[in-house]
């Protein structure tokens, strides 16, 4: 895979599969509940094109993930380009929260050295994992919230 770009929606797919695993769902169960086809969901893992927003939003809504975050992870929308000389007004990234601005840049640099063309995918996956809620934390609005409390 060296030299090839990873699928743009791969970080989104990874977050989705993490979230459904916590709930004890399969991809088939997610597809049924979200009214999205299984090939669409699996396409996020491998398809080199940008996914459509509607299925991403349907899954995000079902899993309690903010739509904007989902669409960014899926590669449907990108961060707005900054004007030259404009100071960054965005919130710190998860890496910056963990290591500070200089430390985060050092981590990104080391990933780029070791992962080459796949570096951006790895950085995105790491930041996605850092910003995900802790395992076992559930959305009290989800249909299975009561079941999770009874089983836990």
- Distance, in Å, from the CA atom of 25 to the CA atom of 20, rounded to the nearest integer, reads 5
- pTM score, whole prediction: 0.53
Burial class (CB in 10 A: 0-12, 13-18, 19+), 35: exposed
Residue (of 142, 108, 113) closest to 127 by Cα position: 108
Q: Please give the pLDDT value at position 93.
A: 73
Burial class (CB in 10 A: 0-12, 13-18, 19+), 37: exposed
Residue (of 64, 70, 14) closest to 42 by Cα position: 14
- Domain at 10-78+90-137: CATH code: 1.10.260
Chain-centroid distance, C-alpha 43: 14
Q: What is the mean pLDDT of residues 12-35?
A: 94
- Distance, in Å, from the CA atom of 152 to the CA atom of 85, rounded to the nearest integer, reads 52
**31 contacts 41 by C-beta, under 8 angstroms:** yes
The model's confidence at residue 35, banded by pLDDT at 50, 70 and 90, is very high
Q: What is the average pLDDT value for the chain, to the nearest integer?
A: 78
- Distance, in Å, from the CA atom of 109 to the CA atom of 51, rounded to the nearest integer, reads 29
Whether pLDDT at 32 is above 90: yes
Between these two residues, 116 and 137, which has the higher pLDDT value? 116
**Could you state, in order of their start, the residue ranges of all structural domains in the chain?**
10-78+90-137
């Amino acid at each position: 895979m060296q030299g090839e770009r990873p699928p743009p929606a791969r970080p989104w797919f990874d977050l989705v599969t993490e979230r459904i695993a916590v709930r004890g769902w399969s991809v088939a169960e997610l597809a049924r509940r979200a009214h999205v086809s299984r090939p669409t969901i699996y396409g996020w893992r491998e398809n080199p094109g940008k996914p459509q927003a509607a299925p991403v939003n349907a899954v995000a809504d079902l899993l309690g993930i903010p739509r904007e975050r989902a669409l960014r992870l899926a590669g449907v929308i990108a961060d707005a380009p900054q004007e030259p000389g404009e100071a960054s007004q965005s919130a710190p990234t998860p890496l910056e929260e963990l290591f500070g601005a200089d430390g985060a840049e050092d981590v990104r640099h080391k990933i780029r050295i070791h992962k080459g063309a796949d570096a951006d995918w790895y950085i995105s996956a790491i930041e996605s994992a850092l910003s995900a809620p802790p395992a076992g934390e559930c959305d009290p609005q989800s249909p299975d919230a009561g079941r999770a409390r009874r089983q836990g």
